């Protein structure tokens, strides 16, 4: 029971949504892109999209500041 997030393997949690995962990872940066198994997930769907076991998740942080 595991998923990968940006290439790192972590535990899979049942019924975890993208929003939950972002919280678990402390990903608070506002400019991010989420892909599950290569498919882009829109921001408005973060609350509803549940991450299935063995998913390959990418949370791509863009750049800002400086």
Partner 1 sequence: MTEEQKITVTIDGKEVSVDKDTTILSAANSIDIFIPTLCHSELVEPYSACRLCLVEIDNGRKKRLVTSCNYPIRKPITVKTKSERVKKHRKNILEMMLARWPNVKIIKDMAAFHGIKTPRYTSPLQDPQENACVLCGLCVRACEEDIWESALNFANRGPEREVMMGYGENIPQCEGCETCMSICPTHAIDMDKEDPNNPFDADLMRKAGMKLTREMVLLDDSQCRMRKVGTAHLTEIMDEYDLLPVQNYRFGSHTETKNIASDVFLKNYLTQGKPDGCWQGCTMACAKTADAFTLKTGPYKGDQVVVDGPEYETVGGCANMGIFDPEFVLEFNFYCDTYGLDTISTSTGMSFYMEMFEYGILNKERCGGLDLQFGNSDAALTFMHRMAAGDKDEFIQVASKGIRRVKDWLIKKGWGDKQIIEDCGMESKGLEYSEYVTKESLAQQGGYGMTLKGPQHDEAWLIFMDMVNNQIPTFQDKAEALHYFPMWRTWFGLNGLCKLPWNDVEPENNAETDEPAKVPGHVQNYVDYQNGMTGGNVDKEGLILQSERAYNWQRAMNVWMGRGTRNDDWIPYRSMGPVTKKEYESRKDRYDTQFVEQLGFTKQEVEKMSIEEKIQKLYEYRQNRYQKLMDAVYYRRGWTPNGIPTPQKMKQLGFSDKKMLSMLQKKIDQDQEKGLNSWGGIYGDDEQPPTDKDQYWLEW
Residues numbered 13-52 forming contacts with partner 1, rule: CB under 8 A:
26-31, 33, 40, 42
Does position 61 bind partner 1 by CB under 8 A?
yes
Q: What is the DSSP string of 14-50?
A: TT-BHHHHHHHTT---SSEEEEETTEEE-GGGTTT-B
CA distance 29 to 1: 27
- From 1-9, 12-20, 49-57, give the range in contact with partner 1 by CB under 8 A: 1-9
Q: What does the binding site for partner 1 look like in residue numbers (CB under 8 A)?
A: 6-8, 26-31, 33, 40, 42, 58-66
């Amino acid at each position: 029971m595991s998923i990968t997030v940006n290439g790192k393997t972590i535990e899979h949690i049942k019924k975890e949504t993208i929003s939950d995962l972002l919280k678990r990872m402390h990903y608070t940066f506002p400019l991010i892109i989420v892909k599950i198994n290569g498919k882009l997930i829109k921001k408005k769907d973060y609350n509803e999209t549940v991450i299935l076991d063995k998913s390959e998740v990418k949370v791509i942080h863009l750049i800002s500041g400086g």
